Every structure is written in structure tokens, then in C-alpha cells.
Structure 1
Amino acid sequence: MIALLRACLLLLLPGLVQATSLSLVEGHTPLLAGPALYVWEDPQGQADIDSVRQLPQSAWQPVARRDASFGYSTHAYWLRLSLHNPADQPINWVLLIGNPLLDSLDAYGLDGERVYQAGDQRPFEQRWVDHRQLVLPFTLAAGEERELILRMQTDGSANLSASLMSAKAFNHHEQSTLLLQGLFFGALLVMMIYNLSIFIITRDRNYLWYSLFVASFSLYQFIQLGFALQWLWPQSPIWHQMSFPFSSALATLFGILFAHGLLDLKSQHPAYSWITRALIACSLLVMGLALSAPYLIALIGSFVLLVACALVGGVFIALRWHDGYQPAKLFALGWSALIIASLFSVVSGTGLIANSLLTLHAQQIGSLLEMVIFSLALGVRIRQSQRAEQLAQAQLLANEQQLRHEQAKSLKLQHEINESLETRVQERTASLQAALHELSAANQKLAELNRHDGLTGLLNRQVLDDGLERMLAQAKRSGRPIAVLMMDLDHFKRVNDEYGHLVGDACLQHAARRMQQRMRRNDLLVRFGGEEFAAALSDTDLFGAIDLAEQLRQDLASTPCIHLGLNISLSLSIGVYSVIPGPDCEREHLLRHADNALYRAKANGRNRVATHEPGLLGNA
């Protein structure tokens, strides 16, 4: 169908094409060779350079597109390009072929009678320049006009993606490209090692599948960008051709296993697992085709597998999302980013859309987005597992208490029935009472622990609710003011993102200690949640509360957290509310107004104290 459309377009062009030269003017922007190219298609691939040079002018047709792409075709394509040096001195230029997967490329006219012959189905040592892509250097004398003829033939995408640039511009372009590629593969390596480490610690296979997926996807990208032929197997062009669909199918296989685990499909309807097994079998089949079947068949098989996984994955994600499974939302974003980018890259190979830097690196961009989002999805899944474990522990404790209650009833019944064993029963009862006493003491200790925040040692939100209710009742009886401070560590998410959550925990503990040192004995300081703290101050008017808030803010701002050699500056935004409570004043009233004041402090630039009523306090 693509070939038919191309033929129709060519019929609309004039039969006689006048060749025009492309003037080479040095600059930093590469020149696209596609619009200046002319093509002659050789379906049999039997023509030689002499017969091609004797072709009439009317046999050549303009490429008329930037990337010189002819879709997936095994035909040979001869391309002609006229170049002109308008300068008054010789110039050194480079013709860069942006498709590292071309099987063969011959170039005539670059260096006298010397023929450039390269491609990924030829030994790497034949290339004039040791480069992952096909680099064709040439020199034009002052005012010289030269005709280059290229012969391209491949079993994959017949896409030339040629650009022209000066040798100086090429060196600059190569340095920036290698920097970006190094960052990309470095990010993949870090993600693989990180998830593999978590697997070793937790034995959660989802992290293993994800690590293997990242590793196989990295290999796939290494092959697609030409690095593999340059550095891994320069003398094995046959394996290089097989490795591309093989690595694609391998990455798809581990992606399927990871998706099956992350979406928790094993615990759902058996149809999920059946379909997953079928996709796994298809992945193995494509891997077998890559090793035994013709390249084009294996390549099409890998594309079909990718489309099938995209459709099935989309349906699975939608169903799990509908079931209320939280990680499915994040997985949907990551899956969409990678699949859309992959399909975009596949479609560009057919020639339906022009090849560009965006299409060449679409999978890299999509994979980086996918890695970040999938990591968040794994975190959400771990949090859900922890919550389920906590609920199971609570249920186990309830069952244990019920069992102890039934044991007590059984002992009492035995005492009533067998009076002859009264002494023994009394001893056992005394023992049981001692055990119950110990259990009661343990429960009291547990209740006390439940009153405190496990990280900072401060009292928790529940204690604030009870204590504030009691302090409010006392203030109503005495007619004395009561104040509430709502405090929030500024930009704390940035601390976690930059230094890690362990350092963030140390900062929370440091802030709690600094606040606790400023509190009176009858004041109530609690960790309200996350990086937020609250304090209830009895017998404290607005100015006294503002004074204490400024002390807290200045003290924390002047005392950075020192942890593991790091010096981390922290600041507080504080909302203050003080009132002599009336009969209708409630605890929620105090918290709400103090929280509104806190939002005002943050809106005014953070690291400041604000009150419920604007104008009572200037900027700190």
C-alpha cells in the first residue's frame, strides 16, 4: 500500500528532472540531504555503478522528503546528490547517515575512485571512520561541484536519514550527542542496579522483572543506536541483525512479567493469567524467529507483538483501574509513555512519518518517563502491602483477645462444676490473673506508645485532639486566652528529593527537638502529619503566641540540621491563632483558623509567621 502511494506521487511529478546542486555553507546547523536527493529504484538489485551512471535524466525521481525513507523494502535504492563548494578555499565535510541499522551502503564519488562500503551486515572495520553510524567524510576544493551516488539496500527500514555538516560541526554534534547518550544509559544502569538491590533485600520478584526489563531494553537501545556493533560484536554482522528483534522480544517478555506482578493479576480472574501466558509464549516465539527465520519476518513479528501487548495492556490497566487498584493509575501513565513512544518509532520506520531526532530518540524519552512513573507505582504497591499487613496484625490481635476471653470463661465454668479442685483452680486463676495483669500493663504501654509519633517522639494527632479539647474547656471556665500554632517545614519535599528520606527523617527529628526546647511544661506540641507540627498554648494571648512563634522560626532558621556530614538549612512557616473562647468555640474552630494563618504565611513567601487576621503582623 505504501509503495502504491509512493508510485502515485511520483507519477504526478514531471518526467524530466533537472539536477540542482546543494551549496555547502559552513554553519552549526546540519543540512538535510533528503530534499536535494534523486532516487532510482532497482527492484532486482543487480545494477552496477556503470549502468547507473548511464541512466537517462528522466529515470531519476526527486526524493522530495527530508529523511529519504522508502519503508520496509528489500529493493536496492540508488540516490544521487550534487554538491557545490561556493567558498574560495577547500572544505572538509561529513555526510552522516542517521540509520545505524542499514544492511549495506555503497558511496561513489567521495574520494576519487575509492568506494565507500559499509553497513551493519559488513565487518565494522570496513568503515572509513570508527563510528556507530555511517560517517562519510569528503573534501571539496574551492568552487568545486561534485556528484555523489549512493546505493542503499536493507532487509529492515530503508531509511537514509542523511545530513551534511562540516567536520568542525560534526565534532561538536558528536560530543553533545555522546553526552546525552551517556546520561541516558547511565540512568538506565542506575535504575537497574537500584531495583536489583531492592529485589535482593526484599525477594519481591517484581523488582527482578523490572531490573531485567531495564537491562534488556538498554541492550535493545544499544543495538538500535549502533553502539553494539561498534563495541560488542564488530565482527559478527549476522548476530547483530538477529539481535535487534531478539532484544525487542526479550524486553517485551520481561515487561509482560513485570506488568503481571505489578497489577496483581495472579489474584484476579484466571483469564488474566491465561492471556499473560499466551503473550509470554508469543514473545518466546518471536525470539525463536529472530534466531532462525528471515530478518524481515522476525522484525514484523516483534512489531506485531508490541502492538498486541499495547492493546492487551491497555485493557488490563483499564479493568484494574476500574477495580480501584491504586498502582494501575500510575502504571497507565508509564505504560502509555513507553508504548506511544515505541509505536511512534515503529511507524517512522515505515516512512509514513518523517524520520527526525524526535522519532530517533522517541523510545529513549518515553523510557525515561516510564522508569520514573513505574518506580512510583512500585512504591504505591509497597505502601498498600504494608497497610494490608497492619490490618492483618490488628485482626490477629483481636482474635488473640477473643481467645483469652474464651479461656477465662472456660476456667470459670470449670471452677463451678468441680468444687473438689477449688485449690488448683484458684492457683490457676491467680496465674491467669497475673498474666492478665501483665497483658494489661503491656496494653497500657502500647497505648502510651500509640500516643507518640514513632519518628520524632512527639505526641501525635490523636493526643492533640484530646488535649486541645481539655485545654479549651479549661480556658472557657477561666476566661483566659488559648492559642494554637500550625507549623510547616518549608520546601521539605525538596529535602527528601535531594538527600533522600533517611536524611529527611533526621531533619524532622532535629526540628522536633528545637521546638520542644522552647515549649513550656503545660504546652502541648505534636507532630500533626508529614512535615507539619502543631502546638496548643494555654493562657497565651496573641502577642505571646506570636513571640513564641518568632522564637521557633528564628531558632530553626539559625540552627541547620547536621547529619552524616551534611549541613541542611531548614525554615518554618507558622500560622498563629489566639482567642478567649466563648461557649460555642470548638476545637475545629481553633485548628481551622490556625491552618488558614499557616496558608497565609506560605502564600506570603514562607519562613514567616502569619495570624488569622491580616494586618496584625507584618512580614517576618
Structure 2
Amino acid sequence: MSSIHPFAPYRCWHALRRWVMPLLVLLWGLQGMAATPVITLSGDTAAFTVDGTVDVLAETGPTSGLLPVMRGARGTFVEKPADERFALGPERAIWIHLRVQRGADTPADWSLNVPLPYIDSLELYVVDSHGAVQTQKAGDTLALRHWDYPSVYPDFRLFLRDTRPVDLYLRASNYRDIEIPLRLSTGAEREQQRTLELVFCGTMLGSLLMLFTWCGLRYWETHETTEAWYLVYTVLMALVSAQAMGLANQWFWPYTPGWANYASVVLPLMGVGASTLFLRTVSATDVRHPVLDKVLLWFGAASAALILMEWALRRDVAAQLHGIYFLLGPLLAVFATLRIWRDGSPLGPWLFAAYAPQGLAVLYMAAQMLHLFPVAWQSRYYMIFAVTLSIPLLLHALTLRISQRLNIRGRARVSDTQDALTGLLVRERFMDHVQHAVHRASYDRLPGAIVVIEVANYQHIQAQLGLTVAEQCLLRGVVKLHRVLRDVDPAGRLDIARFGVVLDGVGSRDAVNERMVSLIASGLIPLPGLHPEVTLHFHVAAVVLDEVHPDPRTVIDELCDLLDGIAPRSRRPIRFLEAPTTLPAPLERDSDFDPPEAELVETPPMARPPAPSQPPRPLTPMPKLASRTDTTSSNPAFDPTVPAALDERP
């Protein structure tokens, strides 16, 4: 009987521990891998989204790499729906295991992309059938230059050498819960997708850039403060759209992963706050709705406090507050636009059309953040389209707002020069035209006439039909007056029912009569739309400046006195101001050097001279004098311009 070596049991245990136990672990791992469903990549489906169930492993704390996960040291994979919202956080991550296998007639170049530009970190480990491992990384916490394949969102390249299965391990980490859509597509199909996405993004951003340039040129010309706010709003909306599409991380800040990680939250907060403040500025709610104006102001300013909370609080806690803010912002904007529309403002429909689609997009994103709706990565394209659509609509609303302000300023500027009811010149401004007309007639010998017109039955209409109908008849009279005037003839309102007109170029009474007869005849036609029928009786007093040179300060009063002398039913409704009659001046002595009457001595009449003794001599003609022209030309010292010569005297 052979003896047993004393160390034989120890050697058996050592051999079992060295060879059998790893073999059992490997078999257990192969059994777990065999349980993972295989996704077959065929040429019939060039692009698709992974649905159904996937193997998921939750990881807490710092990562330990791929090998412990494959060996099962971090736990076992469990099947979960592919569209489930995964519980992620600052200390939590997940591993997703996929097994793919391409067909014999399928190209080897494939792509796995996750269309989430705002995800923090993704690490893909590709384990082929030979055991070789290939690693690719992406995410907004990683600088774009460290991405294996830079793109607007994480995109990984897969090169399947043969038709044997390949294992894909994807590690995802994010500051809050998120759904992770996985899309597989061939290389050629993926290039087409990228081209379409870039064309769409470029079109939207190009439209915003064109609107920004146009409004910049308008601001350069007008220097309106509201257009400056619109420029800031357009730039901010362009940044929000670029960040939502992932272009901002690729173009604007590819080397600052810290800011790129926070920009996906900070820029939308700034966008919602700026939209609220811009709505308050355009709609001028401080005039009609002071309470709503304060609410919009404080809500827009609250975005700054929420932005600071992104660094002051935990990001997952701040995300809940951001979701509530995103939820309330569109509701407040839509409520404000409906309130403005209800008040009858022309800006209401355009503001509602601008903020309603944008509000729906933001509401859906807020509901995703609050776990009320599943995450749909396509919603960001709708939001970008809604934002781009709102920019030109807000520009049109801004144009209407500026037009209203210009009209108000114009009315305020002309309120001291034009009558509020009729639009004619006020008395003071009309008197300036009267003075100029009299001056032109006196010094430049330009023909003209001044006419004062009165609606004689205005007081009767007001007493019988009321003030409203009387003012309406007065406006009809002004319309009839404009029909007999030229555009260059100034007209003003002198009294309640009296108007003044300056007719330039009219030098005779017949021309004045022709126009005024047409006016009087048109007034006798009943006004349409009034029951009972109402006619206007015009009385006219005029002065032709070629016949009379009146005092410009009193000519209107003289014409009004002439109107007061016309009877209400006179058959001569047109009167002209006559020139004043001049009386002969009394005969007075020409000089004060004559002696007084007391010193005058009466002289007796002289006696009749005696008759001449000789006959009178015949008259001889006097020598002919030189003409005035000859005298002037012969005497060089003679100055025919007597006033000028008098002016030269000392």
C-alpha cells in the first residue's frame, strides 16, 4: 500500500483554485453573454433605432473599467426596456450591453450614435470575436478635440471585420435622469443623415442671421431702443438654437468642456427670461396692465437667480427648479399675449402666433425634465423651428409697435398746429399764412384771396340732433371744403363752425365766386346716412388782395364781422370786403411862417390901370427846351434815382 504525500490535499486545492475556478467564471460569463440577444445588421435596414430590451448594469461610485464589468465584479446585467428613463446622477452611471452581428451581404462600416448633445459622458468599448478592445469617448464634459469622431452629438464608428458577433459596452453618465436612444446605421446612411441635419441647422441659423442683419441696419438708421432689444434677443435665440442642435459645442466653444456642460441649461434659461422681458417691452404692458407688467419683469429677472443655482446647488436638485421655470414661462407668455389680444391691440395676434408654438416646445421639454413625458430627441428640432418662426413674427410685431409710436409722436407734434377734430390748422398757424399772403400781395404783387367760411346752420343742427351729429356734419363740411381747394391752399379752423382759407393765385372775384358757389351747392345736397335729411348752409366772406390791402392782424376779424351781418336765409351768401372810402383832406395853411391874422392890414383895392396908349406887341414863340432825356445825358451830375441820391446825403 502506497503512502499518501502529506501535501497532496494542498496541491489539489491549489490546482483547483488556479485552473478550475477561472474556467467556471469564464463559463458563467459566456453563459451571460449567450443570454444577450444578438442584433442582426442587414442591408435591408440601413438605419434603425434599438428598441425592445437591452442589458443594463447600474454602477455606483467611480468606474473601475471594462474588465470588472465583463467578469461580473460590478454586478450582473438585467434586461430593461430600451426607452426607459435611467436613474443617473453625479455618482451613478449605467452600462449598456449590445451584441451585434452583420450579415454576409452587409457593409462592414457602421455607426452607433446617441442624438443627445447635452449628455455628459459616453464611453463605448467594442470587443470583437478575437478579444481585441477598441475604446471611443464623447460627451459635453470632454473637449471636442478628444472625441474620436467629432460631431454635433456622440457618434461612434463601428468596423465589423467579419460576420461573427461583436459585443458593445456603452457606459453613460449624466447629472440627472435621462433616456438614451441608440441608433445604428451604415456609414453611407449616416453621412446622409448628417448632411440633412446640417442643412436644416444651417437654414435655421442662416435665417436668424439674415433677420439680425436686417434689424441691425434698421437700428443704425432709427436708433430705436426697442430694436436694440430685438438684436439682443435674436442673438440669444440663435445661441439657444445652436446649443440645442449641438453646433455651439462644435463651433463656438469646442475647447471649453466645462462651459459646454453648463451651456445646455444656462442658455435655455436665458432664452426664456429674455423672451419674457422682450414681450414686456414690445407690448408695453406698463400702460394698461401694471400688475402683469411687474409679473413679467420679476419672472424674467428670476432667470438670473436660477442660473446661479446651477453652481450653488446640486445639479439634479437645480434641474427640478429649472423644469418648473420652463413650465411656467410659456404659460405666462401665452396668457399675456391673449390678454393683449383681448384688449384689441393689433400686436396681440402676432405675439400669440410667435409665442404659442415656441411655448408648446418649451412646455414639452419641461415636462420631459419633470418626468411627465418620455424623452423624444426629435423634439429639439421642433423647438428650433418654433424659435426660428417666432423671430420674423416678433419683428413684424415690433414694426407695428414702432409705427404706433411714430403715429403717436406725430399726433403729439402736430397737436399744437392742427385741430383735433377736423385736422385743419389752428387759428395761430393759419394767421401766419394770412400774413405771408398779405405780404406777397403788397410787396411782390402776387394775386391772392382770403376767405372765411361758416356753416350757418350748425347751431340749429346741434340743438335738434345733438352734438355727435353736429360734429359729424362739420366733418362732412370739411370734406366738401377740401374738394374745392388745391393741395397748396392752406385752411384753418377759426371758430367752432368757421374756417379760413388762403387762395393763392386767385386775383378776381369771379374766380372766388366760382369755387364758393360749388361749395354752397354741394352743401345743399343732403348728407347720406342721416335721418332726417340734413343739409349744410355755407356763408362766405372774402377779400381779394388785388383790390384791398388789409391789415393782416385785423383782416380775419373784419371778415367775421362781415359774416355776422349776413342773414341766416340770405340770398346773397357770398360777400366781399370793400375798400374803405377816403374823405378829402381839409384845406389848411402850408407854412407856419405866415403872420397872424391880427397883424394883417387890409389894403384898399387898387385902381384899374389906365388903358395902354400903344397896341400890344405880338407874342414871339419861346425857344424849344431840350428833352429830359437829352438833359439827363448831357449832364453827368444828374442822378435819375432820387431815393438813392437822397439816401447818400449825410
Q: How high is the TM-score relative to the length of structure 1?
A: 0.59
For 1:33, the equivalent position in structure 2 comes to 50
Shift of 1:299: 4.0
2:148 is equivalent to residue 128 of structure 1: yes
Residue 102 of structure 1 aligns to a residue whose secondary structure is: coil
Question: How far does residue 86 in structure 1 lie from its aligned partner after superposition?
Answer: 2.0
Alpha-carbon distance between aligned partners in 2 of 1:393 and 1:96, rounded to the nearest angstrom: 63
Cα shift at 1:379: 3.3
Amino acid at match of 1:33: V
CA spacing shift, 1:152–1:357, aligned 2, 3 Å? closer
Which residue of 170, 175, 190 corresponds with 2:195? 175
Whether the 8 Å contact between 2:46 and 2:186 is mirrored in structure 1 is: no
Asked if structure 2 preserves the Cα contact closer than 8 Å seen for 1:123 and 1:237, the reply is yes
Render the CA deviation track for 1:203-240: whole Å, top value 9, x for unaligned. 33222222212211221222232222222222321121
Contact 1:68/1:161 (<8 A) preserved: no
Q: Look up the equivalent residue of 1:398 and give its one-letter code.
A: D
**Would you say the 8 A contact 1:129–1:135 is kept in 2?**
yes
**C-alpha distance in 2 between matches for 1:315 and 1:223:** 28
Q: Output one character per residue of 1:453-507: Cα deviation in whole Å (capped at 9) or x when no partner.
A: xxxxxxxxxxxxx9xxx9xx9xxxxxxxxxxxxxxxxxxxxxxxxxxxxxxxxxx
> What does residue 102 of structure 1 align with?
119
Matches within 5 A, 1:524-563: none
Deviation string, structure 1 residues 530-582 (Cα, Å, up to 9, x no partner): xxxxxxxxxxxxxxxxxxxxxxxxxxxxxxxxxxxxxxxxxxxxxxxxxxxxx
How many angstroms does 1:448 deviate by? 7.9
SS in 1 for 2:263: helix
1-structure distance, mates of 2:307, 2:402: 33
Deviation for aligned residue 1:39 = 1.6
- Aligned CA distance change for structure 1 residues 285 and 327 (closer, same or farther; 3 Å): same
The residue number in structure 2 matching 1:320 is 340
SS in 1 for 2:118: coil
Aligned-residue offset at 1:350 = 5.5
Which residue number in structure 1 is paired with residue 217 of structure 2? 197
Matched, 1:141 2:161: yes
Does the Cα contact within 8 Å between 1:243 and 1:290 map onto a contact in 2?
Answer: no
Displacement of 1:328 after TM fit?
Answer: 1.5
Aligned with residue 188 of structure 1, among 208, 211, 217: 208
* Cα RMSD (Å): 4.0
* Deviation of the 1:301 alpha carbon: 3.9
Give the Cα–Cα distance (whole angstroms) in 1 for the partners of residues 395 and 429 of structure 2.
Answer: 46
What residue number does 2:108 align with?
91
Cα deviation digits, residues 62-103 of structure 1 (max 9, x gap):
3324x4543774421111111011215761111011112211
Distance 1:218 1:46 in 2: 37
SS of alignment partner, residue 419 of structure 2? helix
1:62 aligns with 79
Q: Secondary structure at the match of 2:262?
A: helix
Q: In the alignment, is the contact (CA less than 8 A) between 1:210 and 1:254 conserved in 2? A: no
**Within 5 A, what are the aligned runs for 1:111-510?**
112-290=132-310, 293-349=313-369, 352-356=372-376, 358-389=378-409, 391-392=411-412, 395-396=415-416, 397-398=418-419, 401-404=425-428, 444-446=485-487
Give the letter aligned to residue 419 of structure 2.
A
Q: Give the Cα–Cα distance (whole angstroms) in 1 for the partners of residues 191 and 384 of structure 2.
A: 23
Query: 1:274–1:186: structure 2 CA closer, same or farther, 3 Å change rule?
Result: same
Deviations, residues 351-381 of structure 1 (Å, cap 9, x unaligned): 6544445313121121122123223322333
Offset at residue 297 of structure 1 (A): 4.5
Q: 1:297 to 1:29 in 2, by over 3 A?
A: same
Q: What stretches of structure 1 of length at least 5 have no aligned partner?
A: 1-14, 412-425, 451-465, 474-620
* TM-score (ref. length: structure 2): 0.57
Cα deviation 1:413-457 (Å, max 9, x = unaligned): xxxxxxxxxxxxx99xx99xx9995899x984437899xxxxxxx
Q: The residue matched to 1:338 in structure 2 has which SS? A: helix
How has the CA–CA distance of structure 1 residues 202 and 156 changed in structure 2, closer, same or farther, with 3 Å as cutoff? farther
Structure 1 residues 448, 330: CA separation in 2 closer, same or farther (over 3 Å shift)?
farther
**Aligned residues of 1:93 and 1:165 also touching (Cα < 8 A):** yes
Q: Give 1:77's aligned residue.
A: 94
Max Rg structure:
2
Would the alpha carbon gap of residues 296 and 347 (structure 1) be closer, same or farther in structure 2, given more than 3 Å must change? same
More helix per residue: 1
